[in-house]
Amino acid sequence: MRLPVDYPDIVAARVRVLHSLGTQLRAEAERRPKTPELWLAVRDVEGLAERLADPSESEWQRGFADTLISGQDLGVLDELLTFGEHGTAQVPRRVTDEQAGLLARLRVFLQRYCDREFELDEP
């Protein structure tokens, strides 16, 4: 199966969602100085957004982007999807239904990409 034609849009839209959630988490962490674990969530969400935005189109098409994606990143998405609706110490803001849909699609795409389910260009 070929890499989805719209993968740049899949990634870019989700990076925007992650940046938005990272901004919310950062504001919450600044308001709650006695909950340092929030800074770990900020690092995880913002770090994933930056790593997804970093690879060039060529790097995605050749399969090199998977070197920037780890199981921990998939776990960050799982946490946002699982606990985002109700909130936890790490995810204090509700993830909207629209954001959850976008992140769920990103989660599936990244898992399939890392599992090498797509035909990629040879380096």
Averaged pLDDT of the chain: 88
Taking only the tens place, the pLDDT of each residue in 49-70 is 999 999 999 999 998 988 989 9
Cα–Cα distance for residue pair 54/18, rounded to 1 Å = 14
Q: Phi and psi of 122, rounded to 5°?
A: -75, 135
Would you say 95 and 103 are in contact if contact means Cβ atoms under 8 Å apart?
yes
Tell me the sheet residues that pair with 2.
119
Task: Give the model's pLDDT for residue 87.
Answer: 59
Please, which residues bridge with residue 119 across strands?
2
> Could you count the other beta carbons within 10 Å of the beta carbon of residue 106?
24
Residue 86: predicted pLDDT: 58
Contacts of residue 42, defined as CB under 8 A and 6 or more positions apart, other chains included, come to: 22, 25, 26, 29
Predicted confidence at residue 43, as pLDDT, reads 94
